A and B are shown apart, each in its own frame.
Chain A
């Protein structure tokens, strides 16, 4: 066998094909992106172990992830918060983890997306299972997983074809095969979903500009929210009593050791907001929570500078508006004395 010759040709063909693949996807508009996976979340979670009482943790669902911008927060306060929010998730499992498994006694901003916060405490329900899986991963991650993730970061940051997007935007082989659809033997009721955010290594997330400029793109995301809202309407009702009791118990424990909690309701708009107002009305849910929790709390509707913000896909702010929202929110909180121990230049 002339294996040397074979190896050289195989090596050349591999380099050519992978380079061509990378250029092809870049020409199709695919950009390099990090995967917002459990390993990336765990990197931030590990920072909590050494976080001091002057630091701020951000928890909640994707609205906290998109709407609170770390650069603007840091510019206003001198502190860069630790981003622990998780898409499609109730904040309760992560709050429970930090309260019960760490000695952190700084400030925790908890984003309240009513449909998720008040949804459930059932371990197998998605709003609970997704964040809990991140917590579990952090607790059980092996040195091999940590090193794999660290090694993967520079590759993810430099090669577009390694994008881990799923669904219609997915370009991994599995996703490409999954997009092939022949016949209608089984119909997937979920509309196609576009990934509309880009996350950084510290999990600072911004909305992709195409979501703002391309109405069809934004509408496709809105259709997905409508699909979930229909599902929620026909599913079990929110477990307000259970979720509030769970949260208040941890809150009490956290406050007892000197921790502070801030509740924030981030903007939503259009049909999604109308749906939220109907399914989880403010008076019955947010107001009750605020009354029971007795912590600093901020609802975007209560502030002139925030109440008219429009979300391009009805649930999250554009990159530009998120910066504005963060600056204004921090100003409001500072004026209200909610943020203390600020670092000043």
Chain B
């Protein structure tokens, strides 16, 4: 079920009605939330709920065993079971065709003439998110960093909690399960603020991503021509805006909906396009994934504890796998590789040519970071390397006679939107929507809220899927 759909409006009203009615006690409410979460997921493709159940049961049993088992070897085996099941699902459903394609290519390089039939397996929505979330629980249990979930119901709800089930934020067990132990009820202010965040998220998704930017992106990245400098840049900038509004929009909705239930979810975006460098970027973009990769990949790989070479290798491996997490294609791996390279170069710069960031050079640094990030988005969005390469050459003015596919207004529109987005991120980088909203008069906030709602209503999107659902 999509947040930007009529079914979800009805679903949410029913869930909130039941949640705040006196029909259920707290356990009953949690059961209702769990059941609602399965409906939320299953209405898309009912059989795939079975995967959620398997993942939940395996990780519940694993957690239970790890809580009491002291034998090191057995603990490793229990952890391995969880890893194999979760990563096995991910590999089978997400990476099977990619691995098979590459295997076929390698084998055929040696002249075997092997033919493989892709299985065209359906990718279960949000599988990358919920497998990472459940794995964090078992790894933390193994490392004795978290308590075992008190009841199966609490754990199942942690795995399946509908606001963040299909596209995050990826929440750690200690941050969410413990919230289920005692009855939660949003205060009036929390509830209204949650509703505001839901509107803001829908505005980001429906109006900004789908209505204002997606057509421009499609025109540019869907073109099979070699493009003009301006078209290539504007298409890429439009995508940088689209993916931010799409994904941040989802996270904002998720946080808002959870807040309406009295549950606090962590921030996933903190004005990433105002970042001062790439380390800063990853503390601001998809925060819950980058912290997951840091804690469960980069640090176990050695982090910065074993010298420079090991550190840079760990960094690069983490980013390459981060790229692969986003999609089963080499273009995503290149995207990850570019970010890994940026991070390494930044660390080298800090070591050999350090400089102090001031108000004067800060904006230039943020602009440079944003420009470099845009280069990586080309590989993230392009379906093929050929398209990506054509775009990159056009962006570096190597195709001065490239085709024009965007109208003048498209260029103006994208320029204005992305310009405002960048400035917004720059000026908001040390604050938050909530902090700003406290400073302005209630009527001004109401006007902004009504305007967003009005634009969502007249944009009346056709319920386009969120980009990150495919990851």
Instruction: Show the binding face of A for B, using Cβ within 8 Å.
Output: 1-14, 17-18, 21, 142-145, 147-148, 151-152, 155, 161-162, 164, 172-174, 177-178, 180-186
Contact = CB atoms under 8 A, between A and B. Distances in A.
Among all A-B residue pairs, the 10 with the closest Cβ atoms: A183-B408, A13-B450, A9-B446, A10-B449, A151-B6, A173-B459, A3-B192, A10-B446, A6-B442, A185-B408
User: Most chain-B Cβ atoms within 10 A of its Cβ — which of A4, A11, A18, A173?
Assistant: A173
Interface stretch (B207-215, B295-303, B310-318, B380-388): B207-215
A2 B189 CA distance: 8
Given A172-B460, A183-B407, 10 more contacts: A1-B438, A1-B442, A18-B457, A143-B43, A144-B43, A172-B458, A173-B459, A185-B408, A186-B404, A186-B405
Interface string B389-432: 00000000000000011111101110000000000000000000
A10 B447 CA distance: 6
Instruction: Report whether over half of chain B's contact residues are helix, strand or loop; otherwise say mixed.
Output: helix
Interface in B172-191: 188-189
A181 B454 CA distance: 24
Given A4-B188, A173-B211, A180 B450 contact: no
Nearest to B407: A186
Contacts of A162: 460
Contacts of A184: 408
Contacts of B7: 144, 147-148, 151
Given A1-B438, A185-B408, A147 B192 contact: no
Contacts of B188: 3-4
A167 B463 CA distance: 20
Contact of B450 (A10, A164, A182, A183): A10
A152 B462 CA distance: 10
B235 to A, nearest CB: 13
Contact of B2 (A7, A144, A173, A174): A144
A147 B459 contact: no
B5 A14 contact: no
Nearest to B188: A4
A178 B454 contact: no
14 contacts: A3-B192, A7-B195, A9-B442, A14-B453, A18-B457, A143-B43, A143-B46, A144-B44, A148-B463, A172-B458, A177-B212, A181-B409, A185-B404, A186-B406
A4 B192 contact: yes
A144 B5 contact: yes
Interface of B: 1-2, 5-7, 10, 43-46, 188-189, 192-193, 195-196, 207, 210-212, 215, 404-409, 411-413, 437-438, 442-443, 445-447, 449-451, 453-455, 457-460, 462-463
Nearest to A179: B409
Nearest to B455: A173
Contacts of B457: 14, 18, 21
Contacts of B458: 18, 21, 161, 172-173
A180 B2 contact: no
Contacts of B460: 162, 172-173
Nearest to A174: B211
Given A144-B2, A151-B10, A181 B407 contact: yes
Nearest to B206: A173
A155 B406 CA distance: 34
A178 B215 contact: yes
A13 B454 CA distance: 9
A203 B437 CA distance: 48
A183 B412 CA distance: 11
Nearest to A145: B463
Contacts of B212: 177
B227 to A, nearest CB: 12
Given A142-B43, A174-B211, A6 B446 contact: yes
Contact of A174 (B44, B408, B446, B459): B459
B191 to A, nearest CB: 9
Contacts of A185: 404, 406-408, 411
A8 B188 CA distance: 13
A62 to B, nearest CB: 21
Contacts of A174: 210-211, 215, 459
A9 B444 CA distance: 10
Nearest to A142: B44
Contacts of A5: 442, 446
